[in-house]
Structure 1
């Protein structure tokens, strides 16, 4: 297995034989045939996760903070 990125948006990207893997916390999360596909999948996952967290914080603002 060859490491390509040690930390790409929190994921370790590596190649094993002809498959690219994205690992998070020592678990393979995504496997794709092309490097661009696995990077795109990681990007989409991170963006969706960040957007989901942003929406939750809007629905439940912290007490004492002004609301717009």
Structure 2
């Protein structure tokens, strides 16, 4: 019911935005080259269940150590 009233054109634009917000900690960890980006990405998948956990992972992605470059 909701989807048919919302319109498929708007839904095509909304879904990528929602996925980007959901995986924001993973995106930040990759862009900032964090040492534990694999663990952050793995923890991000079930983190959407709890906003508290999601914000914790977001803080971890922002404040984590940068991976050493050789």
Q: What is the TM-score of this pair, normalised by structure 2? A: 0.34
Higher RCO, 1 or 2 (CA under 8 Å, sep at least 6)? 2
Q: What is the TM-score of this pair, normalised by structure 1? A: 0.35
